[in-house]
């Protein structure tokens, strides 16, 4: 195999494969970008809706809380609550409890209310601090927060010390107390010199907002966080809507410590990167899409994290299927084309060599036929032959020896190479025999015995053999199963009646019988093979003996051949055609 063919066989499919994979990759990456864009748009829209709802909720709650705080302390021009010395006298622990109880009885949406005051601030608490609260589930029971933790050292409380502010909001999750996340709204209370004296905490359950967050989630396992400025977070996405407990542990912002950090890394990054942003983070081998947006005016941000493998899961599956299909398709096309190419190549080369050999055989066969017909004054011989294939099984011969002219037309059963080889055997025997005798039946007997000697294939040869005495016009002939020749005399044309003989090559030892007739000057004998009478038209009709006989009165072999061509126009030549006409002119002077 040539190098260039090897290249063509392997390089072409490999290149095709590479190009189609590249094309698929380009399409997929375009689709990926578009999908990410769509998800971004959807997330941002959902987030805007959510932050609007949450803001409404918080602000309506805040206005209620402000009313509560205003009942015992004053609001200065900058919006900061201050408990003046004159106001402290009227606020005892009992009054504080009573205020909280009546608040919760009016607003049962709030989970709890706590009032925390430092040592010596409330009346009747000169030597002690106050950290009392009431839960809406049981408004007649007082709770002292100090039994659970030290509220004055909590991160939540200390924010009021660090920053002078009117209020702030913090999502919390105190697993020791709650089974669902809450948010705490804090109203710090200062003295007239900006010193923090206490705080009011309003706690309300965020369970309701879980509905928002759940519908906000784009896919499973994509957490949604609320993040406050101290990086406390609540995983909203896992808030149960009706029953069950949060799956993921959350931050306890009261004690300031992390109970568990699901994705602290992301939260830190989210805060670091800013308030309003969408970006991609890489953690290990996985990439995440992170959406951050601020809840305006509340020091809170939403954070949503989508794993890119989640986003691309379906598109990756699609990509794999597409790649697999294209590989299969290309391999199939490659295999088929290679196979058919090889087949074509092999059959072509086989055809070429067979054709070459056939041509050689055809050349050899031509030598078996008389190169030119003998020209004698007593008789005229015309012959035409056309084979259906390059080589054929028809034979004719015409020889003159010692005043006798031999004419012979034969037809070997079958066509092509086997018929040609058989014919050449018959032909060479014929020549050899005619050298020794001019008795037609003797020639036939010898040829038949020689051929029958080894003829397992049962091929046979029909043959008309005639020997004309050029002086007398006496024709002795022997017909071995061949088509009857036609005899043309002054009375017209008719087929010769034949004595029955078998074809050559079938019956060993068969005794061939010959016949005799005398030709008058101008009488003609027309010998042919069945390729003439069995030529078919395109509609399947046979040329037939009658048509042949009609023509013979006026035309010779060449014209008959033209007529056959006219008859079987558009139909392939099925059999070899051979025609020979012998016309006796009479004794030469």
Sole binder of another protein in the list 28, 281, 315, 498 (CB under 8 A): 498
# of chain residues touching another protein (CB under 8 A)? 26
Closer CB to another protein, 493 or 495, in the complex: 495
Take residue 40 and report the two structure tokens written for it.
Answer: 């971004």
Closer CB to another protein, 232 or 444, in the complex: 444
Window 178 to 197, contacts with another protein (CB under 8 A):
none
458 binds another protein per the rule CB under 8 A: yes
Task: Tell me how far, at minimum, the Cβ of 513 lies from another protein, in Å.
Answer: 10
Task: Tell me how far, at minimum, the Cβ of 363 lies from another protein, in Å.
Answer: 24
Sole binder of another protein in the list 482, 487, 568, 584 (CB under 8 A): 482
Task: Tell me how far, at minimum, the Cβ of 407 lies from another protein, in Å.
Answer: 19
444 binds another protein per the rule CB under 8 A: no
Distant-in-sequence, close-in-space partners of 205: CB < 8 Å, separation ≥ 6: 111, 178, 180, 181, 182
Q: How many CB atoms lie within 10 A of CB 432?
A: 13
Closer CB to another protein, 167 or 529, in the complex: 529
380 binds another protein per the rule CB under 8 A: no
- Give, for 502, the enclosing helix (H) or strand (E): none
**241-245 contact pairs (CB < 8 A, 24+):** 241/207, 241/210, 241/211, 241/214, 245/179, 245/180
| 367 CA to centre of own chain | 61
Closer CB to another protein, 397 or 575, in the complex: 575
Task: Tell me how far, at minimum, the Cβ of 506 lies from another protein, in Å.
Answer: 6
Query: For 384-474, where are the alpha helices, taking DSSP H only?
Result: 416-436, 440-452
414 binds another protein per the rule CB under 8 A: yes
DSSP 556: -
Identify the CA nearest to 524 among candidates 588, 467, 580: 580
Task: Tell me how far, at minimum, the Cβ of 517 lies from another protein, in Å.
Answer: 18
Question: Binding string to another protein for residues 502 to 541, with x set by CB under 8 A, is what?
Answer: xx--xx----------------------x---x-------
575 binds another protein per the rule CB under 8 A: yes
Task: Tell me how far, at minimum, the Cβ of 527 lies from another protein, in Å.
Answer: 14
Region of 46-54, 356-364, 437-445, 455-463 interacting with another protein (CB under 8 A)? 455-463
Whole-angstrom Cα distance, residue 382 to residue 552?
13
235 binds another protein per the rule CB under 8 A: no
User: What b/e readout covers 191-220, taking b as 16+ CB neighbours within 10 angstroms?
Assistant: beeeebbbbbbbbbbbbebbebbeebbbee
80 binds another protein per the rule CB under 8 A: no
Identify the CA nearest to 42 among candidates 319, 228, 306, 233: 306
Distant-in-sequence, close-in-space partners of 529: CB < 8 Å, separation ≥ 6: 394, 409, 410, 411, 482, 483, 575, 576, 577, 578, 579
Closer CB to another protein, 121 or 447, in the complex: 447
462 binds another protein per the rule CB under 8 A: yes
Take residue 98 and report the two structure tokens written for it.
Answer: 């009573």
Sole binder of another protein in the list 111, 269, 397, 411 (CB under 8 A): 411
Whole-angstrom Cα distance, residue 180 to residue 174?
9
Interface residues with another protein (CB under 8 A) are 411-415, 457-460, 462, 480-484, 498, 500-503, 506-507, 530, 534, 574-575
């Amino acid at each position: 195999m040539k190098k260039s063919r090897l290249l063509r066989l392997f390089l072409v499919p490999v290149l095709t494969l590479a190009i189609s994979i590249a094309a698929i990759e380009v399409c997929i990456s375009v689709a990926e970008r578009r999908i990410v864009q769509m998800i971004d748009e959807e997330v941002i829209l959902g987030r805007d809706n959510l932050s609007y709802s949450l803001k409404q909720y918080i602000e309506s709650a805040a206005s209620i809380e402000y009313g509560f705080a205003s009942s015992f302390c004053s609001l200065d021009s900058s919006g900061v609550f201050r408990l003046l010395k004159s106001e402290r006298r009227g606020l005892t622990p009992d009054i504080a409890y009573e205020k909280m109880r009546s608040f919760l009885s009016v607003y049962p949406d709030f989970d709890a209310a706590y009032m925390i005051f430092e040592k010596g601030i409330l009346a009747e608490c000169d030597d002690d601090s106050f950290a009392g609260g009431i839960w809406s589930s049981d408004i007649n029971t007082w709770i002292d927060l100090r039994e659970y933790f030290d509220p004055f050292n909590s991160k939540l409380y200390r924010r009021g010390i660090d920053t002078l502010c009117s209020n702030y909001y913090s999502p919390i999750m105190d697993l020791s107390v709650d089974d669902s996340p809450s948010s705490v709204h804090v109203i710090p209370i200062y003295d007239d010199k900006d010193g923090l004296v206490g705080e009011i905490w309003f706690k309300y359950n965020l369970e309701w907002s879980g509905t928002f967050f759940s519908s906000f989630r784009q896919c499973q396992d994509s957490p949604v966080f609320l993040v406050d400025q101290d990086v406390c977070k609540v995983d909203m996405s896992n808030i149960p809507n009706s029953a069950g407990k949060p799956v993921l542990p959350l931050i306890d912002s009261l004690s300031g410590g992390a109970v568990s950090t699901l994705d602290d890394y992301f939260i830190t990054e989210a805060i670091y990167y800013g308030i309003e942003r969408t970006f991609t983070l890489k953690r290990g081998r996985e990439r995440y899409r992170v959406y951050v947006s601020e809840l305006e005016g509340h020091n809170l941000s939403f954070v949503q994290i989508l794993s890119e493998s989640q986003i691309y899961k379906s598109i990756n599956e699609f990509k794999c299927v597409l790649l697999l299909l294209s590989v299969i398709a290309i391999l199939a096309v490659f295999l088929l084309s290679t196979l058919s190419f090889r087949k074509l190549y092999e059959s072509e080369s086989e055809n070429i060599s067979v054709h070459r050999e056939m041509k050689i055989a055809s050349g050899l066969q031509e030598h078996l036929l008389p190169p030119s017909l003998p020209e004698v004054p007593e008789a005229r011989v015309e012959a035409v032959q056309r084979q259906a294939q390059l080589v054929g099984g028809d034979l004719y011969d015409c020889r003159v020896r010692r005043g006798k002219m031999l004419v012979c037309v034969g037809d070997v059963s079958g066509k092509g190479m086997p018929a040609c080889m058989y014919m050449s055997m018959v032909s060479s025997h014929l020549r050899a025999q005619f050298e020794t005798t001019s008795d037609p039946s003797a020639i036939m007997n010898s040829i038949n015995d020689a051929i029958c000697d080894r003829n397992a294939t049962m091929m046979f040869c029909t043959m008309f053999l005639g020997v004309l005495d050029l002086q007398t016009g006496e024709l002795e002939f022997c017909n071995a199963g061949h088509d009857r020749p036609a005899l043309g005399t002054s009375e017209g044309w008719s087929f010769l009646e034949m004595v029955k003989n078998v074809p050559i090559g079938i019956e060993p030892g068969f005794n061939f019988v010959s016949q005799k007739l005398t030709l008058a000057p101008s009488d003609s004998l027309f010998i042919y093979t069945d390729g003439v009478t069995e030529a078919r038209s395109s509609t399947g009709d046979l040329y037939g003996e009658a048509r042949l006989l009609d023509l013979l009165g006026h035309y010779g072999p060449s014209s008959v051949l033209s007529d056959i061509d006219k008859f079987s126009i558009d139909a392939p030549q099925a059999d070899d055609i051979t025609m020979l006409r012998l016309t006796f002119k009479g004794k030469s002077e």
